Amino acid sequence: MDGYIAGGPVSDKFANKRIARTIEFRCDNTLAQVHEAYRIAYDRAEDRPYEFNVGGKKRFAPENKNYGLPEFLQQRNKSIGKKLKKYDGDARTTTLASLGLNIHQPLGYCFDFVADWYHFISLEKVETVIPTVDYPRLRRRVGKSPPQFDPEVSSL
């Protein structure tokens, strides 16, 4: 899966630069495992609430399917503003296979409801799992990771 930063609190040093990570997953990996892999791949030391958004013609639209951690739904609604009554699934139990993603279909990923780091992740290809490989597996890094909390960007 290829994922790139589509928005967030970046300084001019990182503005308008492609910052992307390619990570291999198994179809039985959960969205929580996808989150953790991308969090680590982008060098984010502090874990924060997150959600995934799938489907529809508009990205991150509330009518799309939304997956996150139910205990953070109230915080999500307060920060993001587009209110959800409940998540369509818990990220800890929702697998990639259960999403029925098509090749190049975008999967929105919002990390940190205060900072609003937005990513778009897409399934690039499906391959046979290599039994001797541990998944998720980082395959490619494009660009340096912007700081999670950049002092050059207005205070969060």
- Domains of the chain by range and CATH? 2-142 (3.10.290.30)
Quote the pLDDT of residue 76: 87
Task: Specify whether the CB–CB gap between 143 and 18 falls below 8 A.
Answer: yes
In which region does residue 100 sit, left (phi positive, over 0), alpha (psi from -120 to 50) or beta (all else)?
left
Quick one: average pLDDT of 50-57?
A: 86
Q: pLDDT (tens digit, 9 = 90+) per residue, 131-145?
A: 999 999 999 999 999
Q: Is 0.85 topped by the overall pTM? A: yes
Q: pLDDT (tens digit, 9 = 90+) per residue, 54-91?
A: 986 666 666 789 999 999 998 888 887 678 889 999 99
Q: For 113, what's the count of Cα atoms within 13 Å in the CB-facing half-sphere? A: 18
Quote the pLDDT of residue 116: 87
